[in-house]
Chain A
Amino acid sequence: MHESLLKQWSSDGVQQENVQSLDKESEVEEAAPFNVPFYTECSEAAQAELINQCEGQFAQLEMLQNQIIFAEPDPDESTQELSVNRLTAVAAELKQWQTMQPELLSPNSEVLLAVGAEELQKLNSQLELVFSCSQAKRDKLRESLKREQKWLEEKKEVFRAATEHVANQRLENERLSENRVLRDTKKKIQKMKDYQDRLMETLADILEEHFPLPTMETSVNKKKKNIPQDLNQDLLSLNEILELLMNKTLDTPHDPYVRIDETFWPPYTEMLLRYGIALRHPEDCFKIRLEAFY
């Protein structure tokens, strides 16, 4: 339907100092069929009336145009400020709007009917367009809502899984830390035990080497051999004495004293007392205890 005709022409240098292309003025023209369907529905009388009306208006237009052309150009107008010019024009337009009386498009009811019908059709098509547009938009929104809900569900699931994971991790962590403390303590205990064992062994070695029982000395005191031999039978070694003292201190801390009897070889007892390893009971001189080293 739309037939476009592209016409171009360039002028031959009105201002010859200018480059030709600068002066070019081209025209794109379109001869579109101007459709006025409602004319056919009107009666001939109505058409004639309309045409008369149009002719009258065109005559008025021509008259006004002539008035504009022949009006004396205001010499001040060109120098006038643009905004002042605009203000005058707007004021004039406002005045015109105020004085204008609303009038009927045409006194002929047939024409009015046709125009009204056309307007309604136009409105109808526009509203249909709006309707389809809004429907499409609604569908799109619905779809996006669905998508968003799905997305929300997924996120919720992820959140749940993550929370669970965190809880698991925390539990695991706690268990691990308890275990570790336990293991550390065990290790320390083991270490302490080892250390104690080593100490004990060393002590035993020293005692065995340097503090033998009096039975071992056979060369001296042959005369009194009978007497010490009697004693020797159930004498305690220094090792045993210390053990006894230590066990007593640990087992009954409220009463760490050990009674001295004939199984204690006096020189050993004396040595322990002299070097401050053992203490005598302040009231009972037959009782001794281990010095409080701790």
Chain B
Amino acid sequence: MSLLKPFSKLPELNTANILLVENEEQFQQILAETIVLLKKNVNVNVRLARSLPLPIENEKFRPRIDLVVFIINLTSELSYQSAEVSLKFLDPDYFLGKVCFLVTNARNASVPPERLISVRKLVASLHCPLLFAEDQMTDGVNTAAHRLLAILKVTSGHVPMATGLYLSSLTRCTVPSDIDQQNFD
């Protein structure tokens, strides 16, 4: 089992690397292109993967990953399961502020509410931030890209006086108590 480690490589100058993990590869692609086109003052490399672990022979060329984003499409159970499996291939150090989750299609009426609850519970148990994105419109994609870029800048150390751990402590997902109560019932 090859774990992806956050501190195994030397950071490059003025560079931030983001890894988008999505089973379905659709939103991932659009989001990557949007992030690349955003105006920013650091070089951003976007890396895409369907799932973890990442292949070993790219290990040499792969830069240090500053932020891992799991994209979960709520309409598909497989998307959630895939993300859950992929989580095992991350070094625990990543969960100190270098992982975040992006949920799409949360407003879709066909989504069973339990799935969102289970996603929230998973994310809350990992102390990670949970973002929601609208993937149908360019505005929504742009917003998501801006948010991810803001987090990436912090986790890659380009924002003075802020660290990923600090940010994620403030923005981590919490499970509302009423959901807990519903489950107890």
A60 to chain B, nearest CB (A): 12
How many A-B contacts at CB < 8 Å in the complex?
95
**Docked CA distance A100–B165 (Å):** 17
Within 8 A of A (CB), among B10-44: 10-11, 14, 32-33, 35-37, 39-44
**Docked CA distance A24–B39 (Å):** 28
**Docked CA distance A28–B49 (Å):** 11
**Docked CA distance A27–B32 (Å):** 9
Which of A32, A65, A80, A89 is B96 in contact with, Cβ under 8 Å?
Answer: A89
B96 nearest CB neighbor, chain A only: A89
Mask for A81-110, Cβ within 8 A of B = 1, else 0? 011011001100100000000000000000
Decide if B165 touches A28 in the complex (CB within 8 Å): no
Decide if B50 touches A4 in the complex (CB within 8 Å): no
Decide if A26 touches B48 in the complex (CB within 8 Å): yes
Mask for B139-182, Cβ within 8 A of A = 1, else 0? 00000000000000000000000010110010000000000000
Decide if A90 touches B165 in the complex (CB within 8 Å): yes
By a CB distance below 8 angstroms, the chain B residues around A21 are 50
Q: Is the C-beta of B46 less than 8 angstroms from some C-beta in chain A?
A: yes
By a CB distance below 8 angstroms, the chain B residues around A83 are 127
Q: Is the C-beta of A35 less than 8 angstroms from some C-beta in chain B?
A: yes
By a CB distance below 8 angstroms, the chain A residues around B37 are 2, 4
B23 nearest CB neighbor, chain A only: A22
B54 to chain A, nearest CB (A): 5
Report, as a range, how many residues of chain A touch the other chain.
35 or more
B172 nearest CB neighbor, chain A only: A86
Mask for A30-48, Cβ within 8 A of B = 1, else 0? 1110110000000000000
Which of A32, A85, A93 is B166 in contact with, Cβ under 8 Å?
Answer: A93
Mask for B39-71, Cβ within 8 A of A = 1, else 0? 111111111111100111110001000000000
**Docked CA distance A21–B49 (Å):** 9
Which of B33, B49, B166 is A25 in contact with, Cβ under 8 Å?
Answer: B49
A2 to chain B, nearest CB (A): 6
Which of A11, A32, A65, A90 is B10 in contact with, Cβ under 8 Å?
Answer: A65
By a CB distance below 8 angstroms, the chain B residues around A14 are 55-57
A78 to chain B, nearest CB (A): 7
B149 to chain A, nearest CB (A): 12
Q: Is the C-beta of A69 less than 8 angstroms from some C-beta in chain B?
A: yes
Q: Known: A25-B49, A29-B45, A32-B43. Is A93-B165 also a contact (CB below 8 A)? A: yes
Q: Is the C-beta of A77 less than 8 angstroms from some C-beta in chain B?
A: yes
**Docked CA distance A61–B163 (Å):** 16
B174 to chain A, nearest CB (A): 13
**Docked CA distance A82–B95 (Å):** 8
By a CB distance below 8 angstroms, the chain B residues around A85 are 92, 95-96
Q: Is the C-beta of A68 less than 8 angstroms from some C-beta in chain B?
A: yes
Decide if B7 touches A25 in the complex (CB within 8 Å): no
**Docked CA distance A2–B41 (Å):** 11
By a CB distance below 8 angstroms, the chain B residues around A25 are 47-49, 54-55, 58, 62
Q: Is the C-beta of A23 less than 8 angstroms from some C-beta in chain B?
A: yes
Q: Is the C-beta of B111 less than 8 angstroms from some C-beta in chain A?
A: no
**Docked CA distance A2–B36 (Å):** 9
B25 to chain A, nearest CB (A): 9
Decide if A32 touches B47 in the complex (CB within 8 Å): no
B46 nearest CB neighbor, chain A only: A28
A69 to chain B, nearest CB (A): 7
Which of A2, A34, A78 is B42 in contact with, Cβ under 8 Å?
Answer: A34
Beyond the given A26-B49, A28-B33, A65-B9, please list 12 additional residue pairs across the A-B interface where CB-CB is below 8 A.
A2-B37, A4-B36, A4-B37, A14-B55, A14-B56, A26-B47, A26-B48, A27-B45, A30-B46, A32-B44, A80-B92, A93-B166
Identify 11 residue pairs between A and B in the complex whose beta-carbon atoms are under 8 Å apart, listed by A's number: A2-B36, A21-B50, A27-B48, A28-B47, A32-B44, A34-B43, A35-B41, A69-B7, A82-B92, A83-B127, A89-B96
Residues of B within 8 A of A (CB): 7-11, 14, 32-33, 35-37, 39-51, 54-58, 62, 92, 95-96, 125-127, 163, 165-166, 169
Top 5 nearest A-B pairs (CB, nearest first) are A11-B55, A28-B46, A14-B55, A26-B48, A28-B32
